[in-house]
Structure 1
Amino acid sequence: MMSYTKLASDIIKNVGGEQNISSLVHCATRLRFKLKDRKKANKDVLQDMNGILSVVESGGQFQVVIGNHVNDVHKEIMNQVNLGDTSDSSNESSEKVGILSKVFEVVSGSFSPLLGALAGAGMLKALLTVLTIFGWMSAESGTYFVLSAAGNAVFYFLPIFLGITVAIKLGANPYIGGTIGAALLEPNLTSLATAEGTQSFLGIPLVLMNYSSTVFPVFIAVLIYSMLERFLKKVIYKDVQMFLVPMISLMVIVPLTVLAFGPFGVYVGNAIGDSVLFLGEKSGILTGAVMGAGWTFLTIFGLHWGLVPIMIGNFANGGDPLGPMLAAAPFAQIGVALAIFFKAKDKQLKALAGSTVMPGALAGVTEPIIYGFTDGSLYDRHFHSVCSCFRLNISLRI
């Protein structure tokens, strides 16, 4: 197995050293650094290093694109540095970050830890669909129900998982964040939706909804909770904070979520989904062309996570029109990788191209293709041996 010790050490050195790192997380292909001073990072050196596909500065993050081995590199970096308590304000970057960048940072940081579970569960659901279509498994069998539960769980209980990850990203207590998400799925609350008569909280009528698989309500709820928690810790005596802060937070946030944040979040998600459907009905070809063409550029800057909550919310309502529209982009990238694989003379380049096809085809992870081939970063390193591939890639882009 390849050793990532030197690569990790070189990355730490060229992002400005351990003292310059405020926090570090990773997604499917990228190390997402939050640096105290981005001017101390040597972007050009990092981009030329073997083992690094590209470097992107976006969403308030310094993103080092590694590829499919990002988890191994991340582990080695964490073994070499001591970031301490990243929620400590002394670790915060002094760089000013715009509101939009901050939103994308929170969204990407919240979904990144769940990526493996979401991808695995999605593939399992797809496998079950294939098995039942071909008659190899009955949809009424116990085997099907057990495997279906495994595939559905992460999506049904998504508010709980997101409550945890969003709270971590915002520096709040993750278990209280998860509890807020769990409260939306608690049987006593969900049963009110089918009860007779109008339900109320302290005389205020409740707008009851199904919050399973929803995204926006828990994002809004945990955002408000994180601010409330910081306020309570300033005004409540430390010896009683352990139980009083969580108790007050739950007493305030859960009712507010059911009364206001939850319905508002559901309506926002539905409105965005309906808007896309409306555009699709007016001109499906134009809408698909714009969405498909724009997806690669969003991916390059790491901003594609902004559409993930919308897509998941659409699935909860019966179907997502964005996925098929965006599918053109990853399939085009896979075509580029396959063309290079079949045409390249350089064995190393051929192996790299081949290794990027499966993640793209099975999970839609195309960053290794985008940064390794489409943007031409590897062509500089293998110029003389891949000129024919370069011309082919240009023609495919056009």
Structure 2
Amino acid sequence: MLASMALFFLSSIYLGKFKFKWFLSSWILFVGFFFILFYFYSSFGVPKMFLGMFVDSLSIVLIMLSCWVSSLMILSSMKILFSKFNSNFFCNMIIFLNLVIILMFVQKNLFLLYIFFESSLIPTLTLILIWGYQPERLQASMYLIIYTVMGALPLLINFLYIYSMNGHLSFFLKWSFPYFNSDISFSVWWFFLMFAFLIKLPIFSVHLWLPKAHVEAPVAGSMILAALLLKLGGYGLLRMVNLVFIINMKIFIFFMSLALVGGLISSMICIRQVDMKSLIAYSSVGHMGIMVAGLFSSSLWGMTGGVLMMVGHAFSSSGLFYIANVLYEKSGSRSILISKGFISILPSLSLCMFLLCSVNMAAPPSMNLLSEVSLIISILSVSFVFFFPLSLMSFLVAVYSLFLYTSTQHGNVSNFISPFGSLKSINYLVIFMHWIPAQLLLVVSDMIYC
């Protein structure tokens, strides 16, 4: 772990003048992934501690995911390297953002977790503002700032209040929580403790920043938003649910209902989208909705399924954003109405898109299938009434995934599409490095958050 962090700093500080820094940074992130792999398995599930930080079966999986996806982000942004548009600064931003995310996952102190949780906003905004596509990226950045700050202040106040009562903010020491005369008052306090993480996921009703940020972000920004920044919210939610277990089940059922109904509505919105990136962004709201409902079911199946859903969704959604960017570069438009007939021009890309759409709709043997089965079982254990939104969501996921595939791959070839030039091997490398882990991780899924 320490060696990989040292390599990040060396790449960021001392290698700025070398031309091969771009590819070297990607390889360093891969090397960091294999360094961290040694910490993946613990026979007794005991957290490993070092220098005031710790890793356990939850954080180590997300750290490995962040290194893997960050490396793919650098490989997928070759257009920035060839255009020489602040390529060194772009590479530094990716490495810095990856370092901030890793430092958030290894904290055992809630205040430091809060600092790194909010610090991830700065490099994300930089990616959107400098390398975004359209002038609307300013509006998207403003949405991102407003929603983040709206949840950040109540979270900070709650942490300071907990510190004043306990004298510490460590995960490993016993806590005492404020006493309230009524369940409603305690539920309101608990809600503001979770609100910042629910925004980052995001849960439906505070999700409007996500489609705007995805549409305006470059391909690397979309990949890191879908694969990593959404997982910050899930990680924080898992930690806080385990620390602040609420006895009042009514508020859990309220948020489960909100997450499932919101996921159902966002799945319906997906079918109405004409922008490929907006469709994939709204699908993330639906997937995170079922993940939140599983976490709030207060069962081990729900929490384990939520972690599996976060990892599986990271690969499928990030890969779909990359393919959407490839289609955009070929056709010059993200519109589904214009980008058509790619199966006639690039049948191999059509196969790759079908594979990732099948992962997105949780087709076997992907890890998404296992996660959805675990989540559905845990949610139905709370109330069988949730069967109706779950069944509709499972159907609509398949509908909009196949809608995205058939709308872009079938039909007459648009006059806007350039029929010349095939994809390079690096494009297929990035796609299959999203698809293969989503299949292989099914084999070792019993070691993830056990």
Rg bigger for which structure? 1
* Structure number having the greater strand percentage: 1
Length-normalised TM-score, structure 2 = 0.23
Question: Taking structure 1 as the reference length, what is the TM-score of the superposition?
Answer: 0.25
